Amino acid sequence: GNSPLERLPTEILQEIIDIVATRKPALGDRSQQYSIQPLLNTSKILYSVTVRARYEHVTIPDSQVFRKLLSALRGNPGFGTLVRRIDFSSFNPIILFSSAKERLSADNLTPRTLIQCLNLTPGLREFVAQEHMDDEIDIIVLRKLFHHLSHLTALDFCGCSSPRFRTAMTTFAKSITDKDIAFSVSRLSLHRCDNLPSAVFDQLLRRMNALTHLDLAGTKVSDQALQSIPHSGRITHLNLSRCNGLAASAVLKFLQSHPGVKDSLVVLNLAVDFRTRCGLRGNDLSELLMGLPRSLRSLNLKGSEMGSAHIPLLQRLMKHVHELALGRGLTVADFEKLFEANPRLSDQDKDTQCCTTPPASILSHTLRYLDLSDYVGQELDLGALFSPECSIMQNRSAPLSVVEVAGELFKGLSRSSIPIKFGWTVVESGCRTWIQRQQGEILQGSNDFSWKMGTGNWGMRKIPVVFGEVCAMYRNYTFMR
């Protein structure tokens, strides 16, 4: 009890333990929580500080770890009161068992044991699931999550689309008969839950009174369900990408008139796959751009039909947006105009620009990430993009740090020395290709990028509902697709 470490104030010691507990696990580690296990047996002082860190944010990489957690909570119910997050985002069912029959016979993670765990964690605030364990989420688990955990604020069902999960969600939605029932969840992700019927969203969204984060990418959400969201929420993060059941006019009306979204947006993703569907176009796109709030930091318009007439409207966003994904129909010359100072900007607009004095021809902007991946094959003129006359890839375009291009361009760019000569490097992540400035910004720990919820890369495809770096399956959905 007299070591220098133990004599530190509790607050400082807690910060140190938290850093150790939340560090990225080494390659091959099954759980980062094992890194603080030895501290539990060191001294009474370290035990009292460490036990909170061990159980506050619980990561479940496999069913055996879940079984050990449940055993610990049964043996000491006090541990359960410390749990604030249960995270299955890195869960891999085949680590221990090669078949579903083996997993079932082991009785480690099942609907029965999962509900037992939830019953022992009354203070749970965040529950993070994914497609590799969605069979274990039955109607009893859903009722517990939505109805009986009063402190729960974040739910993530990313990729959950098994027949069992669909049946459970459908049955649960139909069972809600009390019109006055409201849910405590403020951050909800049903990202790529693509087989849930629209009736599920009709029942759930109207009861979300305090929504701030909503990810419905790739779902069958309806126009009616969007409009049913209570006005009491203040949505900052909204992902409606690839929601093919939504009409462009309904989305535009929702964004322009709904009190819970029109003045609070920080992240907005309206991307569509241009190969199968056209996004916003013409006057609809112009109306959207004119009505976006200054709070906006990330905007994805992939799949929209753009023209040179939209450039001045996009340029106005450059003074506060950090991420911008462009639609189709533009040229490299149009891209470059985004960075050119517009003499027609009002005095008020000029006052909102950065305090630094840039070169006269370059707009003072906040853009860090530019997504041009809608331009495939010869549609993107790389020769023009990397020409000395183009300012986009020059130092004077800073703080621009990342330009994303179509994944098919990786092979040619990675073999070329031209990006390196301009001070950029080419990186592949799954099916995505990023051209990154070699002297880019460090994102972690910056309050300017707190809207990214702790993620360390640009160009999120999925909205996080809990704070922290994404890994495993969630990294795949967020940065690799």
Q: Render pLDDT for 367-392 as a digit per residue (tens, 0 to 9).
A: 999 999 999 989 999 999 999 999 99
For residue 381, the model assigns a pLDDT of 96
For residue 443, the model assigns a pLDDT of 59
Token couple for 132: 């590799």
Q: What share of the chain is helix, strand, coil (3-state, %, to 5)?
A: 40, 10, 50
For residue 3, the model assigns a pLDDT of 81
User: 136-156 burial string, b = 16+ CB within 10 Å, else e?
Assistant: bbbbebbebbbeebeebbbbb
For residue 101, the model assigns a pLDDT of 64
Q: What's the CA angle centered on 148, arms 173 and 108, to 5 degrees?
A: 90
pLDDT in tens, 48-80: 778 888 899 999 999 999 999 999 999 999 999
For residue 425, the model assigns a pLDDT of 96
Which stretches of the chain score pLDDT less than 50? 25-32, 34, 346-360
Non-local (6+) Cβ contacts of 162 within 8 A are: 131, 134, 135
pTM assigned to the model: 0.90
Residues forming CATH 3.80.10.10 domain(s) in the chain: 62-264
Q: Is 226 helix (H, G, I), strand (E, B) or coil?
A: helix
Span 62-264: which CATH code?
A: 3.80.10.10
Are 377 and 411 in contact, with CB atoms under 8 Å apart?
A: no
**CA 235 – CA 212 distance, rounded (Å):** 4
Non-local (6+) Cβ contacts of 128 within 8 A are: 85, 86, 87, 88, 89, 154, 156, 158, 465, 466, 474
